[in-house]
Amino acid sequence: MTTVPAANRISKAAFDELVQQVRVWGRPDQPDEPALFTRITPEVTRAALAEVHTGRTVSLGRPWAESPATDNSRPALHYMSALGILLADGDTEPTCYKDFLGVDFHGKTMSHIDAFNHIAYAGQIFGGIPATETVVANGMTAGDVNLYGPLITRGVLLDMATVAGDAWTEPGTAWTLEEIQHALDLEQVTLQSGDAVLFRSGHDRRRAELGPWDPDMAGAGVHVTAIPWLLDQGAAVLGADGETDVRPSPVDQVTLPIHVLTLTMAGVPLLDNLNLEQLSSACAETGRYTFALSVAPLNIPLGTGSPVNPTAIF
């Protein structure tokens, strides 16, 4: 489950060529370009609303993950902080109940969006800013999640497991550019500027049927060499029911190469650990693999990301 075929491996030097190909900042003899998530313009958002025909909504967020497991070494916290308190002295009604939530969301369980300051390469985050110079006690002073604001755009589901005729894609599988293009052809989708492209491996279905595994060791995802083409076609957000990156990495000495190319070099947010099972069913039922997608990160100044519950609207 963790073997990467030799034909899929690329060297660190070849990866650094991909870095230069997709980077929108710090290029010799070229001015810096905006982060590619800014492709989601007001015009793109208005066009995305035309995808709404019935008003059917589908949640893409996983449940709050409080139970420890092989794939959840840092469980989320949820406990009651107030039980039946009175709201003011002398009042008898109503009584109030409160609960506390806490989460270390950058893991393999919680649905979340990654900010630009989440990943540094050669010591730099997006824009060439030295990562260590931005770290403070409660976050990072550059590249935080509030740069995004709410994102409303056209979503595209690439249901890679279903296209291959499988219930799920085995962990460790890397989808090639040819396989991605084949999926788009079968789904009759042409990518557009500003699209959020979501990849389904069937992770949650496999986990439900076979139990958890260590996704640090093995997870299905996109082969890194497909990223330049996806960005050239207009992708502004990428996401998956895993990390988008395949595990183990096909790149020598680089653990999360897609995170580097998207967050650090191109300015493309990543949506990790989505639950795409209901979305897969909705797309199959409607015969449509495009929809309006709303992603609203929490307002976390200095944050390296945010838990999210994205919503697809048909």
Q: Are 262 and 271 in contact (CB under 8 A)?
A: no
- H/E element holding 152? strand 151-159
- The pLDDT tens digits of the residues spanning 177-214 come to 999 999 999 999 999 999 999 999 999 999 999 999 99
**Is 237 in a helix, a strand, or coil?**
strand
Strand runs (DSSP E) across 160-245, as ranges?
Answer: 174-175, 196-200, 221-222, 237-240
Burial of 12 (0-12, 13-18, 19+ CB in 10 A): exposed
The pLDDT score that the predictor gives to residue 29 is 81
Which residues of the chain register pLDDT less than 50? Answer: 1
Distance between CA 238 and CA 114 in Å, rounded? 10
Q: Are 191 and 154 in contact (CB under 8 A)?
A: no
3-state helix, strand, coil in the chain (%, to 5): 30, 25, 45
Of 3, 5, 24, residue with least CA distance to 228: 24
Distance between CA 109 and CA 264 in Å, rounded? 23
With b meaning 16 or more CB within 10 Å and e meaning fewer, what string describes 39-52?
bbeeebbebbeebe
Say which residue the tokens 């019935």 belong to: 54
The pLDDT score that the predictor gives to residue 5 is 64
Distance between CA 79 and CA 99 in Å, rounded? 6
Of 301, 241, 229, residue with least CA distance to 277: 241
The pLDDT score that the predictor gives to residue 6 is 60
Q: pTM of this prediction?
A: 0.95
pLDDT, mean over the chain: 95
* Complete edge-to-edge strand list for the sheet that includes strand 237-240: 57-59, 311-313, 290-295, 151-159, 196-200, 237-240, 270-272, 112-114, 305-307
With b meaning 16 or more CB within 10 Å and e meaning fewer, what string describes 172-193?
bbbbeeebbebbbeebebebbb
- 3-class secondary structure per residue, 40-71: CCHHHHHHHHCCCCCCCEEECCCCCCCCCECC
Q: Are 273 and 239 in contact (CB under 8 A)?
A: no
The pLDDT score that the predictor gives to residue 304 is 98
Q: Give the chain's domains with CATH numbers.
A: 6-64+108-313 (3.50.30.50)
The pLDDT score that the predictor gives to residue 4 is 60
Distance between CA 308 and CA 264 in Å, rounded? 21
